[in-house]
Amino acid sequence: MNQTEIYGTDEIALIKKKCADSIYEFGRMFQIMRELYEGFGMYYPKECNTNYRDSWFHYRKLYVKKDKISVLNEKYGLEEHLLRDVKDAQIYFLQQLGEWLMLWCSYKKYFYYDRTDLPKYIAILNHTALEEKNWVASVWKQCGSDRKLFASTCLYQFENNIESDMLQVKLNELVCGIKNLILDLRLGGVDIYRPTDNTYYLEKCISMYNNLCLSLRETGMLYLISATELIWNECGKKNIETN
């Protein structure tokens, strides 16, 4: 193939159509990933948006290029940006979630709260509508803007009313599942593996999200997950050691 070989109008139209379909299909996948991010209040990575934007630049160039080499370059560039985009979105989501869960797996190792103030925590919990699904939001309301008190009360509630052997098993199971999925995604990158179905990993992420939500909802653990970093800031063992 050399620079002078050019595509006919119909061939170019077909390539443009395929690329446009990919942009649309991946756009829908990003929307779903966003839903997962929003569930836990996470920020969707900026890098993913810029990769998506860059795929459009390649698409636009298809309208001015005709020679085969340039057209194929643009086509592959477009695919590469879309694939990188969705992979980044999935890995970042899983990493963030995995790190949060890992802290709860060994919470005694990572968290500490002042046990001399137990009556305070109990009083707050007594005034909290714990039967409400999102008990964490109720605790926040009770604590006003006292973050330390909020973090300590959440830890107290976790230790006394949520934590159990069964929960620990489930958390470990989820963390292992998340780690394996991340590893799978990263190894796919090393091997330049392309699943024939682009939604393969997306479906794995959705299943992971659904499994996590459904299995942790009953105990109330689900609502603690997004508070992990706030609690870590206030009651993390490392923070206490350095303060």
Residue 214 found at the interface with other proteins (CB under 8 A):
yes
Judged by CB under 8 A, the residue of 32, 69, 72, 122 near other proteins is 32
Size of the site for other proteins (CB under 8 A): 60
Neighbours of 174 (CB within 10 A): 21
Residue positions counted in the chain: 243
Query: Does residue 187 belong to the site contacting other proteins (CB under 8 A)?
Result: yes
- Mutual angle of helices 68-105 and 9-39, in 10-degree steps: 10
Q: Is residue 136 at the binding interface for other proteins, with CB under 8 A as the rule?
A: yes
Residues contacting residue 17 through CB under 8 Å, at least 6 positions apart:
none
Name the minimum Å distance from CB 163 to other proteins: 19
Among 72, 73, 179, 219, binds other proteins (CB under 8 A): 179
Q: Which residue has the tokens 């979105």?
A: 89
14 token code pair:
């077909």
Residue 236 binds to other proteins (criterion: CB under 8 A): yes
**Residue from 70, 73, 168, 199 in contact with other proteins (CB under 8 A):** 199
Asked if 44 interacts with other proteins (CB under 8 A), we say: yes
Q: Give CA–CA dist 73/109, Å, rounded.
A: 51
Scan for tokens 């230790």, then name that residue: 159
Task: Name the minimum Å distance from CB 29 to other proteins.
Answer: 8
Alpha carbon distance 165, 13 (integer Å): 60
Burial 195-224 (b: 16+ CB within 10 A, else e): eeebbebbebbeebbeebeebbeebbbbbb
For residue 112, state whether it binds other proteins (rule: CB under 8 A): no
Q: Report the interface residues with other proteins, using CB under 8 A.
A: 25, 28-29, 32, 35-36, 38-47, 88, 91-92, 95-96, 99, 102-103, 106, 109-110, 133-134, 136-137, 140, 147, 176, 179-180, 183-184, 187, 199, 202-203, 206-207, 209-210, 213-214, 217, 222-223, 226-227, 229-230, 232-233, 236-238
